[in-house]
Structure 1
Amino acid sequence: MTALGLALLAGAGFLAAAVQAITGAGFGLVAAPVVLLLAPALVPGPLLVVTVALMSLAVVTGYRSGGRLGREDARLLVPASAGIVIGTAAMFPALGWVGEHESLIRTVVGVGVIVAVIPMLVPGFPAPAAGPVVISVAGVLAGVLTVLAALPGPPLILTYPATNAARYRTGLAVLFLVASLAALMVLATGPGVAPGGWEGAGVFCVGVLAGFCAGVVAGRRLPLAVVTYGSRLTVLSAGVALLMPLVG
Structure 2
Amino acid sequence: MTGPEYAVIAGVVFLAACLQASSGFGMGMLAAPVIAIIDPALLPATLILLALLVTVMVTVTERQSLDLRGTGWALAGRIPGSFLGAWLVAASSREGLAWVVVIVVLMGLVLAVRGWAPRPRRRTLVAAGAASGIMGTATSIGGPPMALVWQGHEGPRLRGTMSAFFMVGSAISMTMLWLAGAVTPDMLALALWMVPAVVAGYVASRYVNRFLTPGRLKGLAFGASALGSVLLVLQLVLSG
Q: Answer yes or no: same fold by TM over 0.5.
A: yes
CA contact (8 A) 1:12 1:204 kept: no
Alignment correspondent of 1:28: 28
Alignment correspondent of 1:99: 93
CA contact (8 A) 2:32 2:101 kept: no
Give the Å deviation of 1:196: 4.1
* Unmatched runs of 5 consecutive residues or more in structure 1: 121-125
CA contact (8 A) 1:162 1:228 kept: no
In 1, Cα distance between the equivalents of 2:80 and 2:51?
Answer: 20
CA contact (8 A) 2:33 2:232 kept: no
Alignment correspondent of 1:133: 123
Give the one of 169, 183, 195 matched to 2:159: 169
1:155 correspondence with 2:149: no
Aligned residues: 234
* Unmatched runs of 5 consecutive residues or more in structure 2: 236-240
Give the Å deviation of 1:59: 0.4
Report the residue type matching 2:122 in the other structure.
P
Alignment correspondent of 2:7: 7
Question: Structure 2-normalised TM-score?
Answer: 0.86
CA contact (8 A) 1:113 1:236 kept: no
The alpha-carbon distance between structure 1 residues 118 and 97, as it changes in their structure 2 partners (threshold 3 A), is: same
1:81 correspondence with 2:82: no
The alpha-carbon distance between structure 1 residues 93 and 127, as it changes in their structure 2 partners (threshold 3 A), is: closer
CA contact (8 A) 1:19 1:27 kept: yes
Alignment correspondent of 1:123: none
Question: Structure 1-normalised TM-score?
Answer: 0.83
1:68 correspondence with 2:58: no
CA contact (8 A) 1:153 1:235 kept: no
Give the Å deviation of 1:160: 1.0
Secondary structure at 1:91 match in 2:
helix
Give the one of 100, 106, 109 matched to 1:111: 106
- What CA deviation, in whole Å up to 9, does each residue of 1:33-52 have, x standing for no partner? 22222343431112212221
In 2, Cα distance between the equivalents of 1:82 and 1:239?
Answer: 30
Alignment correspondent of 2:51: 51
The alpha-carbon distance between structure 1 residues 103 and 161, as it changes in their structure 2 partners (threshold 3 A), is: closer
In 2, Cα distance between the equivalents of 1:194 and 1:99?
Answer: 15
Alignment correspondent of 2:169: 179
Give the Å deviation of 1:232: 6.1
Identity %: 25
Give the Å deviation of 1:25: 1.5
1:203-242 equivalences under 5 Å are 203-220=193-210, 226-227=213-214, 230-231=217-218, 233-235=220-222, 237-242=224-229
Tell me whether 155-164 or 143-152 shows the greater mean CA deviation: 155-164
The alpha-carbon distance between structure 1 residues 148 and 163, as it changes in their structure 2 partners (threshold 3 A), is: closer
